[in-house]
């Protein structure tokens, strides 16, 4: 479904600030894979996701989605089939626009821009139902401006928007990291629900090892710009934090330097 071959990206090449962010990433996702991604700070997780989304291009290597080479496809075209939710709740929704307008915009993803943005009665009902499922009391606030909502509410709506038109691929980059634990849990539950209902192929970066173990059918760990651990199936189900740390240390020859990942509840 997603096929990444020898992906490489260096920032500020040939300068004193040179950063080799990706040093040859190989990764293949099957249709319906829900992969959690964990790794030390600066190991290249976000750079990998940005290359997949087309925020910037890699220096070398290739990215294919359902057989199509998208390596150098412009970001806005790729956005037609990639849903994204990143860490910052302020991004991903338009603050000045109403909830309904944001959802209507998302429902038009991949369709011609010429048609009106206004929503039909049917669509309003659909939006209300989706918002009711969020259980955040937003179902009767369709005309509320997004900018007045809390971070958790905004992030939940971003997630709805990213999955309203079924994406071929869903990319989540620490999308609950900026939320308080209770809200984060709610957004994770919603994530699980949307992913399983839509059978979405998903990559979810998390700084929380427990979440990486709890969610998904497969887990990868990155270190210094490479994928160093890749565990799926029964083996993934039986993983513990301890065994994960051992795997990581064996594969990378380093200690896991993201203690935050262990401390967060």
Nearest to 93 by CA among 48, 138, 133, 46: 138
Nearest to 150 by CA among 208, 194, 84, 89: 89
Q: How far is the CB of 181 from Mg ion (least distance, A)?
A: 20
Sign of CA dihedral 246, 251, 257, 260: negative
Is there binding between residue 87 and Mg ion (CB under 5 A)?
no
Phi, psi of 135 (to 5 degrees): 60, 40
- The CA distances from residue 11 to 21, 41, 53, in Å, are 7, 16, 17
Q: Which listed residue (25, 27, 39, 176) binds ligand ADP by CB under 6 A?
A: 39
* Nearer to ligand ADP among residue 46 and residue 192 (C-beta): 46
122 in Cβ contact with 103 (< 8 Å): no
Count the site residues for ligand ADP by CB under 6 A. 11
19 interface partner picked from ligand ADP, Mg ion, none, CB below 5 to 8 A per type: ligand ADP
Q: How far is the CB of 180 from Mg ion (least distance, A)?
A: 20
Stretch that binds ligand ADP, among 43-51, 71-79, 189-197, 232-240 (CB under 6 A): 43-51
Q: Which listed residue (41, 118, 150, 238) binds ligand ADP by CB under 6 A?
A: 41
Q: Report d(CA 113, CA 135) in Å as an integer.
A: 31
Q: Which listed residue (8, 46, 97, 230) binds ligand ADP by CB under 6 A?
A: 46
Q: Which listed residue (19, 128, 141, 193) binds ligand ADP by CB under 6 A?
A: 19
Is there binding between residue 46 and Mg ion (CB under 5 A)?
yes
CA 175-176-181 angle, to 5 degrees, is: 180
Stretch that binds ligand ADP, among 35-43, 60-68, 88-96, 164-172 (CB under 6 A): 35-43
Q: Please, which residues have CB within 8 angstroms of residue 262's CB and are 6 or more apart in sequence?
A: 209, 241
* Nearer to Mg ion among residue 46 and residue 123 (C-beta): 46
Q: Which listed residue (33, 45, 104, 256) binds ligand ADP by CB under 6 A?
A: 45
Q: Report d(CA 246, CA 90) in Å as an integer.
A: 37
Q: How far is the CB of 95 from Mg ion (least distance, A)?
A: 23
Is there binding between residue 11 and ligand ADP (CB under 6 A)?
yes
Q: Token pair 């849990």 is at which residue?
A: 185
Beta bridge pairs of residue 62: 5
| Chain residues that interact with Mg ion, rule: CB under 5 A | 45-46
| Chain residues that interact with ligand ADP, rule: CB under 6 A | 11, 19, 21, 39, 41-47
């Amino acid at each position: 479904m997603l096929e990444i071959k020898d992906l490489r990206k260096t920032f500020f090449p040939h300068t004193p600030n040179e950063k080799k962010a990706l040093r040859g990433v190989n990764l293949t996702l099957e249709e319906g894979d829900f992969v959690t991604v964990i790794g030390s700070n600066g190991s290249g997780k976000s750079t990998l996701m940005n290359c997949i989304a087309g925020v910037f291009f890699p220096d070398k290597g290739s990215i294919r989605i359902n057989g199509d080479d998208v390596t150098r496809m412009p970001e806005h075209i790729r956005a037609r089939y990639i849903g994204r939710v990143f860490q910052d709740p302020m991004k991903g929704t338009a603050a000045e626009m109403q909830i309904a307008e944001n959802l209507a915009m998302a429902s038009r993803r991949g369709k011609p821009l010429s048609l009106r943005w206004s929503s039909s009665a049917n669509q309003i009902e659909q939006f209300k139902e989706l918002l009711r499922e969020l259980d955040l009391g937003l179902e009767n606030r369709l005309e509320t401006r997004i900018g007045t909502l809390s971070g958790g509410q905004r992030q939940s709506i971003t997630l709805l928007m990213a999955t309203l038109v079924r994406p071929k691929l869903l990319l989540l980059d620490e999308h609950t990291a900026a939320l308080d634990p209770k809200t984060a849990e709610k957004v994770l539950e919603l994530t699980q629900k949307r992913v399983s209902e839509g059978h979405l192929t998903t990559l979810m970066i998390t700084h929380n090892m427990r979440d990486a173990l709890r969610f998904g059918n497969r887990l990868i760990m990155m270190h210094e710009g490479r994928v160093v651990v890749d565990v799926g199936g029964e083996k993934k189900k039986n993983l513990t934090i301890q065994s994960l740390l051992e795997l990581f240390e064996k594969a990378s020859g380093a200690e896991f330097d993201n203690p935050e990942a262990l401390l967060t509840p």
